[in-house]
Structure 1
């Protein structure tokens, strides 16, 4: 038995020369396809709060949130309501305040990133400096052994002038 095909109002099967379409899901009932809606009659709410839905209904009816409320999203709704209650001037001032806070946070984030970059750069420079000190120490030891500048330069990668300067420091 063939399943009905989606994409065509008559849901006909794919015939010769046509690409087969995906079968429809078993969503044949309206409640399977459309979202569920609830009608809330806030005026019939008795004010007794016993769960999260009651907290939301209380908020919608009274435009306030009690300190004991903990329903998800209710705090954000309260903040939005507080903004809507502001005068135009207060709202503009509040928006400038929020922008100022975001600017400060952005500045702090940038400073923190710069500090991390500097620390990483310092660490890399320290490693390079440490390696250079190690090479110089090897060159000094080879000078003590009596090797020539050309051999020490080949072994360490330092220039012959740098090796000569190390010889002069030793004397």
Structure 2
């Protein structure tokens, strides 16, 4: 029997189980270093589970205290989950991270900048790129110049741009990556999508991942749980895609019928809008019923559909 080919654990599973271990920090540090194009070291994984938005938060969020090449301490949040209101979730996560890590009565000057990194394995919306970056800039409405703020730092008054203080957001749309990986960032995103790592890679974090995230190095029970995780994702994606298509089709048909009955442009527009809304709502309920029938947990169904646990119980 020939030697089994190395297969690597997908990042969305590794971040739940393995990458929180200090011995494996080098993998996450590599991702941050490549993404920021700046040598980044993890100081600690921060505990923030006392006030979770949902039970699944502790599996999908990793709050990291890191240090960049300038010696600045930054809070980095890595998120990986399925949410209907995902942008709202990002905003909530950043605000929560800021407030959790400053004590009541402490000077606002001690607030640390937050980098929010969202690694999404689902259809987030429209866009042609696999990586999006956003940050706050205050631009003059009439002059187009960028506002500078005078701030006290190390007993001196220095100018600072709001973007140096306000959060920055990175969204990695894994499924949109369809290139041959040539750069360190592309190699990382290819791994995020496929779990594949080049045998001779020199990319920070990936060389460590080749040693620490081997599929066949897992215990049989852990390997079984990982395989079930992948199967659940595939089934869930199929169900969601089918429900979305059915909901859109039904919504368009109903909307057109009602709009034509009105006989006016206003009625047509309103009919389409209401039909689409009703179709999407019914599609979400249909998805939840199917996931419930497949035996998925209440938390997973809520995460996949955005429905409350109370609504799911009623199905």
Tell which structure's C-alpha radius of gyration is larger: 1
Higher relative contact order, structure no. (Cα contacts within 8 Å, ≥ 6 residues apart): 2
What is the TM-score with the length of structure 2 in the denominator? 0.20
Indicate the structure with greater strand content. Answer: 2
What is the TM-score with the length of structure 1 in the denominator? 0.34
